[in-house]
Amino acid sequence: SSMSSGYCSLDEDLEDCFFTAKTSFFRSAPNKVPAKTAAEEKPKPPTVQEIKQKIEKYNAKVTNCLLMKLNDDGTYTGFIKVHLKLRRPVTVPAGIRPQSIYDALKEVNLADMTDKRTSFYLPLDAIKQLHISSTTTVSEVIQGLLKKFMVVDNPRKFALFKEMRKDGQVLFQKLPLTEYPLYLRLLAGPDTDVLSFVLKENETGEVEWDAFSIPELQNFLMILDKEEKEKIQQVQRKYEKFKQRLQQTL
């Protein structure tokens, strides 16, 4: 219920950035003061008054109408932009019209209307704007984006990343599923050069083949076969030119 149905496409592009997360590990020395517990180190949640001040400061920097709004219960709503950078094809229902605003408001799942599936590549420069709540998690943002594009792939295949620029460096970090993107947006301000969100494949180091359906696996084989043939043709053309130059030299 925290996900809004108000999505819109934007023509503007966000600059590519990359994030390197640093983690320091310390081994506790013996006979010293024990380390603080996780509960003690966990920062206290901001008060309603602090949130109100942050929202006022945020809205003062907004150059468009995408303001944040504080609710009576202490929650707040606002907008985030998600840049889609999916390099692998996604699976969608075949022969289904795009979702309308009426379908979104009525929570109509068009993907359930047919068992036929097809795969295609989403544009790399696509940007979607989401109207979400402060209680909306990363997991809900991913599911909302997939529903908007009628993608029927398992949400575990995707991950939300944050991109930041600091001291001339481009930083990139994967967000946990329980993180709240709107709170990160509030802390960073409205400038997307300071912080932006990116949806990418969930690169865990190991491919979770069980998460793919048989048609998806067959589609991957077709793509690999096509890439293999193209690579063979490139090598053949390369050595054919080399052979011609050798013959000319002789």
Local confidence pLDDT in tens for the 250 residues of the chain:
334 333 333 333 333 333 333 333 344 444 554 555 544 555 677 888 999 999 999 999 998 888 999 998 889 999 999 998 888 888 877 755 555 444 444 555 555 555 677 777 777 778 889 999 999 999 999 999 888 888 888 888 899 999 888 777 778 789 999 999 999 999 999 988 889 999 998 876 556 677 677 877 888 788 888 889 989 999 999 999 999 999 999 9
The answer to whether residues 197 and 227 belong to one domain is no
Domains in the chain: how many in total?
2
How many other β-carbons are positioned within 10 Å of the β-carbon of residue 110? Answer: 16
Residue 172 domain-assigned (yes or no): yes
Residue 132 domain-assigned (yes or no): yes
Structural contact between residues 58 and 69, judged by C-beta atoms closer than 8 angstroms: no
Domain span holding position 220: 209-249
Residue 64 domain-assigned (yes or no): yes
The answer to whether residues 217 and 155 belong to one domain is no
What is the Cα–Cα distance from 150 to 144, expressed in whole angstroms?
Answer: 10
| Buried/exposed code over 134-144 (b: 16+ C-beta within 10 A; e: otherwise) | bebbbbbbbeb
Residue 101 domain-assigned (yes or no): yes
The answer to whether residues 140 and 187 belong to one domain is yes
The answer to whether residues 59 and 145 belong to one domain is yes
